[in-house]
Structure 1
């Protein structure tokens, strides 16, 4: 699979397998094994998903060499703060059965219990990220759900600019201003929930025409949309047939007019996540 180069020259596969809500033990373990088997080498998980041990078991049972995988996890909201990060990373490493992470993210910018000072909280949390990066335990570091002001807080006060920002990107939520800011600062965007609008956008006559035109499913069109915006989509399914469908997106290209349609498409049910709210 092709890769995108992060700011530290590390290569990240341009399509990832997500594990959110995969909490059924058998489905999660088999899902990870199947994903690796069909060609996914980029595995995205998080402490908050409460399934890191299952993901780790799936990786172990897959038989793949650790060096052939790109594994991402994320810091729990309740584990923010300089003094808590190292312990949290150690627990994640133990659950996943590895001694390093290819990418580690701050999961959410504004968390409960920090007395409304998210600026200091994120800077102190990030300071611990930087130390673990310099030690080689975290090979790359980034954030998730950060808007421009959250990113500027780190860029202007810390040593290392986040290398990745994982946000929601799909037709209906394109976040152009944030996208441009990330590009200007050499921050790669990952997209979670890239298939979220599939039910509604499938009803569009234009999309039905695209399916015939390209010989692809709506899911494949949505994933290809993100790729052509230089965004790394993270897919999620426990069904092997869907995995095979999701990875078969490298043999076609959406033309400019159809990309414009996707970029302009809107729907009342799809709004930018409110990352001003505190989360526990």
Structure 2
């Protein structure tokens, strides 16, 4: 899996969408992250097919939405995702959000049922890897107790100002790779004085600092950028290192740029 992914959540679906993806591919992005709810898979599939680059060079991730979060419908959701992307397989399939409302026995069973469908798809060789998104430790513990195949990835909102240290530690202890969605805090961190100070010390941008912080914590970030120069910057994070003090300062920042989307309180 490429270390730096390209997020497509909230990229406007307009006449510029496909050119945004085309530019990312030209710059070297090969890992693209989408989801059922984004409604952009067909457009992404068109650009990838027309790029002339073999499918095998891409790493494609998608996530099933809450409407298909059950054993009975997860396979149908996967078939729809493949059809929209116009590919024969995904590199990574995730449960977008855990069921977490109501009686614990009920939502735990719902998550476990969805995961059984994922295991079936994986064991059939129809997907290369399976995982979850937005699962905190108390969602993962009951899932792991029933799982025959452990989640390989957990995609979480993580960035300076929202490090999710307990969830990150739990995943690392259980051999689950963590990916960071919204690693730039939806753009808010680009104007944060702490990141600006550290960026100035290294001659880089605040975005590069935030992404480098993820990298040094063992997290694979999935930034989103529509501007050519920002896309290029987001890939160029391997030429500097944060000091331990800078890394700690970013980790210990007060809560900043949190989206407000918490797995236990969202209504989906």
TM bucket by the smaller chain?
over 0.9
Which blocks of at least 5 consecutive residues in structure 1 are unaligned? Answer: 1-11
Match of 2:113 in 1: 124
Match of 2:263 in 1: 275
Alignment check: 8 A CA contact 1:41 1:68 kept? yes
**Could you tell me which of 6, 31, 52 is aligned with 1:17?**
6
**Could you tell me which of 243, 247, 252 is aligned with 1:255?**
243
Distance change (3 Å), C-alpha of 1:273 and 1:211: same
1:57 has 2:46 as partner? yes
**Could you tell me which of 2, 20, 32 is aligned with 2:21?**
32
CA-to-partner distance for each residue in 1:37-95, whole Å, 9 max, x for gaps? Answer: 10111110000101111111121122211000100000011011111011111111011
CA-to-partner distance for each residue in 1:86-131, whole Å, 9 max, x for gaps? Answer: 1111111011010000000000002789998110101111000001
1:222 has 2:195 as partner? no
| Deviation >6 Å, runs of 4+ | 111-116
What is the distance in 2 between the residues matched to 1:115 and 1:230?
31
Distance change (3 Å), C-alpha of 1:269 and 1:191: closer
Partner SS for 1:191 = strand
What is the distance in 2 between the residues matched to 1:49 and 1:184?
31
CA RMSD of aligned residues (A): 2.0
Alignment check: 8 A CA contact 1:198 1:218 kept? no
CA-to-partner distance for each residue in 1:195-254, whole Å, 9 max, x for gaps? Answer: 0175356342x4333222211000111111101110010011222221111111111111
Q: How does 1:6-155 map to 2 (within 5 A)?
A: 12-110=1-99, 117-155=106-144
Given the two structures, how large is their TM-score scaled by the length of structure 2?
Answer: 0.94
1:169 has 2:154 as partner? no
